[in-house]
Amino acid sequence: MDNKLNEIRRKIRMLRTEMLSAEDNIRKQVNRDEDCSVAATHLMAMRATMVGLIGERNRLGGEERLLNVDERLKLEVRAASRKPSTGMPGGRER
C-alpha cells in the first residue's frame, strides 16, 4: 500500500509542475491577446485528474493536513527570524 501511496504522491507532484507550466503559458497567451481556450481546457482536465488523485490518496490514508492562515504566518515568521550564524565552524570566534 505504501508503494501505491508513494506512486500517487509522485503523480500529484508531477501534475502540479505541469499545471504551473500550463498556467504560465495561459498567462503569456492572454498577455499577447491570443486565444487560450485549448490550454485552459487542458488545465481544467488536469485539475479534474488532480481531484481524483487526491481522493485516491486520501482513501489510502495519505491525507495531508492543510495549515490555516495563523499557522502559515507563524511558520513564515519563524523562517524569517532565523539569523545565519556569523561565527566560525566549531563555535570559535575571531
pLDDT in tens, 5-63: 899 999 999 999 999 999 999 999 999 999 999 999 999 999 999 999 999 999 988 77
- Return the pLDDT at 53: 94
Kindly report the pTM of this predicted structure: 0.65
- For the segment 59-74, the average pLDDT, to the nearest whole number, is 82
pLDDT(89) > 90: no
* Distance, CA of 18 to CA of 46 (rounded, Å): 9
CB within 8 A of 9, min separation 6: which ones?
Answer: 57, 62
The answer, yes or no, to whether residue 65 has pLDDT greater than 70, is yes
The residue ranges of every structural domain in the chain are: 2-81
Residue 84: partners with Cβ closer than 8 Å, 6 or more residues away = none
